[in-house]
Structure 1
Amino acid sequence: MNDYKSSSCSIAGSIYANYIIQSIALIVIMQFSVEISAQLNTDIVGVGYVASGIGVGKILLMFIGGILSDKFGRKPFILMGMCCYIIFFIGMLFCHNIDVAFFLAMFIGAGNSFLDTGSMPALTECFPRSAGTASVLIKAFISMGTLVLPFIVTLFHAYDLWYGYAFLGFVACIVINFLFLTPRKFPSKNTVICGNEGHSDYFIGKPNILFEGFLLIIMGFTTTATFIIILQWLPAIAEKGIGMDPIASKQLISYYSIASIISVFTTAYIVKKFIKPIYCIIILPLLSALILLMFLFNLNSTMSLIAAIGMGLTAAGGVLQLTLVVMQQLFPNHKGFAVGTMYTLSGLSFIVIPLVVPKLAVTNVSYAILVDLVIASTSVILGLIVYSRFKKVIDMKKI
């Protein structure tokens, strides 16, 4: 038993380390945009085109990656994801063509897909009694990467260093982690999430993937869109709708980020000790909706700060990961499929929201809040319907 726990902790540590690199890779193109645009002989629009390849690669491979992960196991896909990041970081050092760079950026999306479809089920299989906590902690390590990279970029700019050294450093970290992870033996892909009491025979009925499964997949979109709107549009709302100073309005995102990191650890503890994930996917979106409702009718600087902190605590603290845990509890033999489908819809929100919200915000910035309120409320409704089915097919005392 101790050997199993030690092995599980080792695998989890390696997976969490991968998420630091993953979050760095997702924003590294824009962070080093000046250097990359000079290398590719393009402008910021061209760099944006390159970065868009990430989303293309992610959406193309997320669904199929989830299905294959259920069939062949988690480890091969985690290792493939790490290889995809190595290809990107090494390839960019020698790339001088914008279309080739776009193709290389697709490897970030592919790596993201393979890592998610392998890592998320693997974490729940390593810790079947603490699946909610293990999944929510992913957000903390993602935040670490996005927190560290700007400091690295600032350091490189201050000393006029070639950005390639940073890329080579990232490759070295991946290679070390790859060598560490390769000999590890992963738990069975058929391991069932069993809750704190250790029960794995918690079914009292048969869940319907075409009903509650479909609703949970839709929640992959709604739970992600809820925080994307605030993350992308809160500064514009504060500046244009309220008249806040531009610098002060941008600082709201710092408060949002700090709150989200606090929320990750708080939520992880609460899920471990007190509240089941099925309740969290209702309560957290409900709290987000209440905050947005108050914000909609009180457009002032104080409420902007409250909204930034409140949405960081409720919308960005792991709701998506907890929704995934619920789906994996309902469909333990299709955990990879759950990640693939839910995260495909999550990725779709990154495409749809930037296309829809700006057009509404041009007319009235408060419309962005209204749209977010509707989306958060939709998450609550979907969560309640899923809960009504959940308690009919699962013995709540055993999870």
Structure 2
Amino acid sequence: MKSKRLILGLYLNYFVLGISQIILAQNMDALRLHWHTTTAGVAFVISALGVGRLLVYLLSGFLSDRFGRRPFVLLGMGAFVVFYAGILLSPNIYFAFAFSVLSGVANSCLDTGTYPTLIDLFPQRDGAATVMLKAFMSLGELFIPLIIGLLTVAHLWYGWSMLFVVVVILINVALLWRADFPSRAAVQQLSASEQSAQRTPAKWYLDGVLFVLYGYLSMATFYLIAQWLTKYGATVAGMGNLAAHALLSYYSIGSIASVILTAIMVNRLVKPMQIQVGYTFMALVAIGAMWQFPTPTVLSVGGFAVGFFAAGGVMQLGLTTMAKFFPIGKGLVTGIFYTAGALASFTIPLLTGWLAQTNMHSIMLVDVLIAALGFVVSVGISIRYRILFAKSAPALDLVE
């Protein structure tokens, strides 16, 4: 029987990860005063998350295949503890930036240790298992603003929100310390079984390139919307401040609804590959409508639709499919796929920031083109999937 302790601990880490991705932005005013800087200075510190991810993903993926998943899950948790301590103790943004890089390192280590573990634990339900990580991240993103809001209203120290996360991590370290991770021998047996299910081996120069493109494009599609939807609504659609900010709420609600529904459907009712292609197409339709008809109603519905179809777990499904194509070395596969996503989160703000200075409407056109390319790539992956796979690999129990 699979270890419930392990599964609970892995998902709880992603509750922490969801909090960690937004906690600096949520405490921006308090941190600005603490570091004697400006809003741009705090944003500089937040950008270090992407730097840490870019620096470490490939290396942590390669090493997790070599030394196992447990060390990297625990290393990621330890890096988060040091990150929070460093943020609270840093006297200025330069020290804080260095510690913030550790948040990206922690993110990378958790991803390259957790995704392969869940994919190996649930070879017949890997899509649902990985999409649930997104669900726990969304719970964290919903939970921490409430805690920070209560601290603000009560005029309490902002650092309690970070110490709360540290306590959760330490409890989870105790939970995972003795948990049973899949053995190397069982993982190798499963990987060989999965590879034997392919008619012909996947090709890195073709299939690998398709997945790298999909990792970049799937991240870019929803990241652009998350960054610019409020400004687009106010500038192009002429929406008021409150209504424009509400667009991002619709986007978040769509994302959460998608995670729940997708986790129920995937593998049981619909194959991950079908969801990947269908969701990518529907995201393209929604973004195209928001570009052609930028009215408050279209943007409200479109924001929900993009959250549902682009930000609700389809990227996780892309990684799951890539791991089926390249079952040997899932840690490195995770590192490669999410490095492409990290590049998107770094380059998209640069491009769209330049466009926003001249024509805000053109930003949505860029996302239409990105989503269209994403759909074409997903169709290409679907065609290759049908060519490669004759049958599904059998399930194996990896943990007693």
- Shorter-chain TM-score above 0.5: yes
Q: Is the 8 A contact 2:221 2:370 kept in 1?
A: yes
**TM-superposed deviation, 1:374:** 0.9
- 1:183/1:207 Cα in 2 relative to 1: closer, same or farther (>3 Å)? same
Give me the whole-angstrom Cα distance separating, in 2, the residues matched to 1:85 and 1:68.
19
Which residue of structure 1 aligns with residue 93 of structure 2? 98
Give me the whole-angstrom Cα distance separating, in 2, the residues matched to 1:285 and 1:213.
19
Equivalent of residue 197 in structure 2, options 170, 182, 202:
202
Q: Is the 8 A contact 1:192 1:329 kept in 2?
A: no
Q: Is the 8 A contact 1:128 1:192 kept in 2?
A: no
1:149 matched to 2:157? The reply is no
Match of 1:272, SS state, is coil
Give me the whole-angstrom Cα distance separating, in 2, the residues matched to 1:145 and 1:398.
34
Equivalent of residue 167 in structure 2, options 160, 172, 189:
172
Match of 1:255, as an amino acid? Y
Give me the whole-angstrom Cα distance separating, in 1, the residues matched to 2:25 and 2:214.
29
Which residue of structure 1 aligns with residue 221 of structure 2? 226
Give me the whole-angstrom Cα distance separating, in 1, the residues matched to 2:226 and 2:339.
20
**TM-superposed deviation, 1:163:** 2.1
1:317 matched to 2:317? The reply is no
1:12 matched to 2:7? The reply is yes
TM-score if structure 2 supplies the norm length? 0.93
Give me the whole-angstrom Cα distance separating, in 1, the residues matched to 2:24 and 2:370.
30
Give me the whole-angstrom Cα distance separating, in 2, the residues matched to 1:326 and 1:192.
18
Match of 1:348, as an amino acid? L
1:373 matched to 2:368? The reply is yes
Match of 2:200, SS state, is coil
Deviations 1:37-70 (A, max 9, x none): 2222222222112112211111100111111111
Matches within 5 A, 1:105-254: 105-188=100-183, 191=187, 201-254=196-249
- 1:193/1:158 Cα in 2 relative to 1: closer, same or farther (>3 Å)? farther
1:276 matched to 2:275? The reply is no
**TM-superposed deviation, 1:267:** 1.0
Give me the whole-angstrom Cα distance separating, in 1, the residues matched to 2:5 and 2:135.
18
RMSD, aligned CA = 1.9
Q: Is the 8 A contact 1:74 1:117 kept in 2?
A: yes
Q: Is the 8 A contact 1:74 1:119 kept in 2?
A: yes
Give me the whole-angstrom Cα distance separating, in 2, the residues matched to 1:26 and 1:398.
35
Give me the whole-angstrom Cα distance separating, in 2, the residues matched to 1:100 and 1:364.
37
**TM-superposed deviation, 1:192:** 7.7
Which residue of structure 2 aligns with residue 349 of structure 1? 344
**TM-superposed deviation, 1:10:** 2.2
Q: Is the 8 A contact 1:66 1:337 kept in 2?
A: yes
TM-score if structure 1 supplies the norm length? 0.94
Match of 2:267, SS state, is helix
**TM-superposed deviation, 1:191:** 3.1
Q: What runs of 5+ residues in structure 1 fail to find an aligned partner?
A: none
Which residue of structure 2 aligns with residue 255 of structure 1? 250
Match of 1:145, SS state, is helix
Match of 1:270, as an amino acid? M
Which residue of structure 1 aligns with residue 397 of structure 2? none
Match of 2:266, SS state, is helix
Give me the whole-angstrom Cα distance separating, in 1, the residues matched to 2:324 and 2:183.
16
Which residue of structure 2 aligns with residue 333 of structure 1? 328
Match of 2:243, as an amino acid? A
Give me the whole-angstrom Cα distance separating, in 2, the residues matched to 1:287 and 1:341.
26
Identity %, equivalent residues: 34
Which residue of structure 1 aligns with residue 51 of structure 2? 56
Q: Is the 8 A contact 2:220 2:345 kept in 1?
A: yes
Give me the whole-angstrom Cα distance separating, in 1, the residues matched to 2:126 and 2:188.
10
Q: Is the 8 A contact 2:83 2:100 kept in 1?
A: yes
Deviations 1:348-390 (A, max 9, x none): 1111111111322333322112111111111111112222222
Q: What runs of 5+ residues in structure 2 fail to find an aligned partner?
A: 395-400
Give the count of matched residue pairs: 392
Q: Is the 8 A contact 1:129 1:193 kept in 2?
A: no
Match of 2:379, as an amino acid? L
Deviations 1:262-288 (A, max 9, x none): 100111111131221122221111111
- 1:398/1:63 Cα in 2 relative to 1: closer, same or farther (>3 Å)? closer
Give me the whole-angstrom Cα distance separating, in 1, the residues matched to 2:285 and 2:220.
16
Match of 1:203, SS state, is coil
Match of 1:13, as an amino acid? L
Deviations 1:324-367 (A, max 9, x none): 00100111112111110111110111111111113223333221
Match of 1:291, as an amino acid? A
**TM-superposed deviation, 1:397:** 6.0
1:47 matched to 2:42? The reply is yes
Give me the whole-angstrom Cα distance separating, in 2, the residues matched to 1:193 and 1:355.
44
Match of 2:239, SS state, is coil
**TM-superposed deviation, 1:124:** 1.0
Give me the whole-angstrom Cα distance separating, in 1, the residues matched to 2:188 and 2:358.
49
State which drifts further: 105-114 or 183-192.
Answer: 183-192
1:78 matched to 2:78? The reply is no
Deviations 1:244-297 (A, max 9, x none): 112101101111111110100111111131221122221111111112222222
Which residue of structure 1 aligns with residue 292 of structure 2? 297
1:358 matched to 2:360? The reply is no
Give me the whole-angstrom Cα distance separating, in 1, the residues matched to 2:333 and 2:98.
27
Q: Is the 8 A contact 2:52 2:103 kept in 1?
A: yes
